[in-house]
Amino acid sequence: KAGVTQTPRYLIKTRGQQVTLSCSPISGHRSVSWYQQTPGQGLQFLFEYFSETQRNKGNFPGRFSGRQFSNSRSEMNVSTLELGDSALYLCASSLTGGPNEQFFGPGTRLTVL
């Protein structure tokens, strides 16, 4: 069974730009969660999508948004990038959501210059 994949793996953007990251879950998984990992703030929950609907949301500004498609693939968008958005963005998929049977992707390393 193929694991969770994230594209691109590395990305460099400049302040003010926007970026879209993609996550392809394990086949059959309907839940996709996104996390931000930085040296300063550690690992933080961004949001979760389930069956194309945002089900849970962490404490991030509206510049961070996402969506999920009918095939469960998910995208995360960050608009008006700031230097502090430089981070490793992880996604995780599971059958129904929650920590059980949650599989993480390798992450996308975003650098904002």
Distances in whole angstroms, Cα of residue 45 to Cα of each of 13, 60, 70, 85, 113:
22, 9, 23, 14, 24
Residue with tokens 């981070």: 87
Longest Cα–Cα distance in the chain? 39
Contact with another protein (CB under 8 A) among 2, 28, 42, 70: 42
105 lines the binding site for another protein (CB under 8 A)? yes
38 lines the binding site for another protein (CB under 8 A)? no
8 lines the binding site for another protein (CB under 8 A)? no
104 lines the binding site for another protein (CB under 8 A)? yes
Distances in whole angstroms, Cα of residue 17 to Cα of each of 12, 35, 67:
10, 20, 19
Shortest Å distance, C-beta 18 to another protein? 25
91 lines the binding site for another protein (CB under 8 A)? no
Is 42 or 62 the residue whose CB approaches another protein more closely? 42
